[in-house]
Amino acid sequence: MGQAVSDWAASAGEALREGGYRRGGARRAVVELLADQHCCLTAQEIHDRLRATRRGVGIASVYRVLEQLVQLELVQRVEIGDGMTRYEPVHPDGVHHHHHVVCDDCGKVEAFSDDALERAIDSTAGRLGYEARHEVVLHGACADCRS
Amino acid sequence: MGQAVSDWAASAGEALREGGYRRGGARRAVVELLADQHCCLTAQEIHDRLRATRRGVGIASVYRVLEQLVQLELVQRVEIGDGMTRYEPVHPDGVHHHHHVVCDDCGKVEAFSDDALERAIDSTAGRLGYEARHEVVLHGACADCRS
DNA sequence: ATCAGTGCAAAACATTTGCAGCATG
DNA sequence: CATGCTGCAAATGTTTTGCACTGAT
């Protein structure tokens, strides 16, 4: 995982530089935090973690940086239906590509991946004439909540 | 389509009656509007259409009725990543079950369905121990926006 | 030095809730 | 005629924006 993490931080840094962005403190802090994540975080969670571990970053800057990263396709939005948008790094070449299962009782979010599902989605997207990124969200009750 | 539409309105009416709900004007208006839809609408769109075509229904009532219908599993929420929740009727036995493709340029939302994709999702959900409802959203650029 | 980047506070939205009056069963 | 339903307005929670100041190049 260390490899992919630093890969992402490196690509992100390069893309930002090429985009003409400066390496301000807030942007760097958000990128570094995201590089350590493998699953999605809300803007508020990012804000809280940054306040806890290093110089705090204003929530407005968190949103601004996330928006820029989404535009550069370095980060993708994930919506699981609880009114808050989550964000997670997108690794090049689909590495670490995954989807999410949400427990509608306790709100827990887990990641999963499945090759057969990916193939089915690719073939469907092709049929529709979209070469597209995609998002699958499963909703149900997790093992803990069913017991 | 006429068949499924009236089926849904009928099931909805019955479920609401059994749930002990009264047939107030706002609830009836929202159910009737939804019965004519095959794809998802935002609360605001529902509010606007009701104001245009019949006695207006307060936006608060629109949200209240939608919440009740979601609880009764007559309606499901759809999140396509633009900050607004959409709602669409759920037909019994998975009839008319579908997913959504969103054009990230113009915002157009289209429905699609694909049996192979459904089978892949069912099998994946089973493997994860979730018997779950699911939602697939494809994001890309539509034919119009690419030309 | 310049101009992008940042934090704060205020604004803008989507959604929810309190409440007093209305209407269904 | 009692209680659920409704609309309005206010509250809430998330995300965006205005603005003056800071800091990277």
Amino acid at B133: R
Residues A20-36 pLDDT 10s: 888 878 999 999 999 99
The pLDDT-based confidence of B3 (bands split at 50, 70, 90) is low
* B64-68: Cβ within 8 A, 24+ apart: B64/B26, B65/B26, B65/B27, B65/B30, B65/B31, B66/B30, B68/B16, B68/B19, B68/B21, B68/B27
Predicted TM-score of the model (pTM):
0.91
CB B94 within 8 A of CB B45: no
Q: What percent of chain A has pLDDT over 70?
A: 96
Query: Which residues put CB within 7 Å of chain C, the nucleic strand?
Result: A 21-22, 24-28, 55-61, 64-65, 83; B 22-25, 42-44, 59-60, 63-64, 67, 83-85
Exposure string (b/e) for B87-97, b if CB count within 10 Å is 16 or more?
Answer: bbbbbeeeebe
- Nearest residue: Cα versus C1' of D23: A24
For the CA of A19 and the C1' of C25, the distance in angstroms is: 66
* Residue from B143, B145, B140 nearest A131 by CA: B140
Mean pLDDT, all residues of chain A: 91
pLDDT confidence of B142, banded at 50, 70, 90?
A: confident
**Contacting residues of A for B128, CB less than 8 Å apart:** 101, 112, 138
Using 50, 70 and 90 to split pLDDT, how confident is the model at B85? Answer: very high
Nucleotides of C under 7 A from a protein CB: 4-10, 14-18, 23-25
Decide if pLDDT at A108 tops 70. yes
